[in-house]
Amino acid sequence: MTDTLRIGCAVDAFALDDPAYRDAIARLFTVVTAENAMKFLLLRPDRDTYDFANADRIMEFAEAEGKAVRGHTLAWHSQLSEWVADAPAEERAGILRDHIDTVVGRYRGRIEQWDVVNEALDDDAQPRESPWFEAMGIDYIADAFRWAHEADPSARLFLNDYNVEDLCPKSDAYYELAKQLLANGVPLHGFGIQGHRIVGDPPTSMRENLQRFADLGLEVALTEVDVRMPVTEVEHASDVQLAAQAADYRTMIEAARAVPACTSFVLWGLSDAHSWIPETFAGFGAAHVFDEALRPKPAFEAVFSDTVGPSYAKEPVLR
């Protein structure tokens, strides 16, 4: 078992206006990830404009509070400005390189880890179609890592994806991709497992999966953890669901703690009040360790009992 696992949280720049939210992030976590503020669409709405206002705000908060930062993300098929797909294919490599040079260079020496390529493989374990893949083929992955390393040689560079918690065809494909990249001298330093789960369906081979990537010499991390459940405006999470959710969180963090190369366990959001789940998965919610009133749920103790002690979870509210 390892006692070096750091607990982190994805941060919404606008939610930092809420003093209770801001205080909870500052008190509980050692790592923060920009939930949206560093994605291409938010940073670069048009070809001639970079907007770093919200990304800078999160960086300033993190540095003031002494938090490590995970950058998310540089090359992704989603939340990508439409003008990229409209650009001629022969220009897209230059667009991606300029983006990586500018963004990674801006935060050089300040961001510890970057999710360089996010969700590069589809659910069938084949390369995912994207403006980058369409223009550059599979080589865009290696190029993105090389460019990111040139822009900040001190940053640890990760592949990152969902539905790769267990040993499965998709994680097998990533394992082979990682081996190939390393054999070709690509500066790949880590593999990120997102950890978006549905309650009652915990991973069964996560420790073994994390360990095989670690055996390649990579860092591993749980990067976007949440456990959603069926809820409606009328039917809220039951005690049974909340207990099952806590068990699922516990399964994941225990797997992470069992692998010394696992450096961080990042929650994808603090509370049900600021959640991406309801808009993305209709009929689901209540995915986080705090409820909408910032009261800790059983999942909180599952994640934090070894860090802050179970007594913290008995506090009625963080206000």
- State the pLDDT at residue 193: 99
- CA 130 – CA 136 distance, rounded (Å): 10
Quick one: average pLDDT of 234-248? Answer: 91
DSSP letter string, 173-215: HHHHHHHHHHHTT----EEEE--EEETT---SSHHHHHHHHHT
Mean pLDDT of the chain: 95
Could you confirm whether 292 is annotated as catalytic?
no
**90 tagged catalytic:** no
**What local confidence, expressed as pLDDT, does residue 307 receive?**
56
Mean pLDDT of 38-59: 97
pLDDT on residue 215: 99
Catalytic residue among 35, 165, 224, 301: 224
Running DSSP on this structure, what letter comes out for residue 123? T
Confidence (pLDDT) at 235: 72
Cis ω before 102 (30° cut-off from 0)? no
Q: Can you tell me the distance from the alpha carbon of 6 to that of 174, in angstroms, rounded to the nearest whole number?
A: 24
Work out whether the CA dihedral 150, 154, 155, 159 comes out positive or negative.
positive
Structure tokens at 141: 């992955």
Strands 113-118 and 68-75: parallel
- φ/ψ region of 275 (left if φ > 0, alpha if ψ in -120 to 50, else beta) reads beta
CA-to-CA dists, residue 53 to 41, 45, 169, angstroms: 13, 13, 40
pLDDT at 233: 72
What is the pLDDT at residue 167? 99
Q: How many other C-beta atoms can be found within 10 angstroms of the C-beta atom of residue 238?
A: 12
Q: Distance between CA 125 and CA 4 in Å, rounded?
A: 32
pLDDT in tens, 78-99: 999 999 999 999 999 999 999 9
Question: 168: which 2 tokens?
Answer: 């499965």
**pLDDT per position as a tens digit, 175-201:** 999 999 999 999 999 999 999 999 999
**Per-residue pLDDT tens digits for 66-75:** 999 999 999 9
- The answer on pLDDT for 223 being more than 60 is yes
Q: What would the mean pLDDT of 215-232 be, rounded to a whole number?
A: 97
Secondary structure percentages of the chain, helix, strand, coil, to 5? 40, 20, 40
- What secondary structure does DSSP assign to 221-275, as a single string? EEEEEEEEEE--SSSPPPHHHHHHHHHHHHHHHHHHHT-TTEEEEEES-SBTTS-
CA distance readout (Å), 305 to 35, 129, 167, 281: 25, 42, 28, 29
The whole-angstrom separation of Cα 243 and Cα 206 is: 21
| Structural domains of the chain in order of their starting residue, each with its CATH number | 6-223+260-268 (3.20.20.80)
pLDDT at 234: 60
Six-digit token pair at 128? Answer: 């995912």
* pTM of the full structure: 0.94
What was the pLDDT predicted at 159? 99
* 218: confidence class by pLDDT, cuts 50, 70, 90: very high
Beta carbons within 8 Å of 49's beta carbon, 6+ residues apart: none
DSSP state of 152: -
The pLDDT value recorded for residue 256 is: 98
The C-alpha atoms of residue 115 and residue 221 are separated, in whole angstroms, by 11
Dist. CA 178–CA 169, nearest whole Å: 14
Per the model's pLDDT, the better-predicted residue between 312 and 126 turns out to be 126
Annotated active-site residue in 119, 165, 219, 301 = 119
| pLDDT value of position 236 | 83
